[in-house]
Amino acid sequence: MDIAIGICLGLGLAASCGFRVFVPLLISSIASMTGLVHIGGGFEWMGSWPAFAIFLTATVAEIGAYYIPVLDNALDTISIPLATIAGTLLSVTFITDVPPMVQWTLGIIVGGGSAAVIKSGASMARLKSTAFTAGWANWLIATFEHIASFVMSILTILIPVAMGIMALGVLGYFGWRLSVKKNVKEKTN
Question: pTM score, two decimals?
Answer: 0.90
SS (H, E, C) the chain: CHHHHHHHHHHHHHHHHCCCCHHHHHHHHHHHHCCCCCCCCCCHHHHCHHHHHHHHHHHHHHHHHCCCCCHHHHHHHHHHHHHHHHHHHHHHHHCCCCCHHHHHHHHHHHHHHHHHHHHHHHHHHHHHHHHHHCCCCHHHHHHHHHHHHHHHHHHHHHCHHHHHHHHHHHHHHHHHHHHHHHHHHHHHC
pLDDT at residue 130 in the model: 87
Q: Which residues contact 68 (CB under 8 A, 6 or more apart)?
A: none
Q: Per-residue pLDDT tens for 24-79?
A: 999 999 999 999 998 988 999 999 999 999 999 999 999 999 998 888 888 988 99
Domain ranges of the chain: 2-188
pLDDT at residue 15 in the model: 95
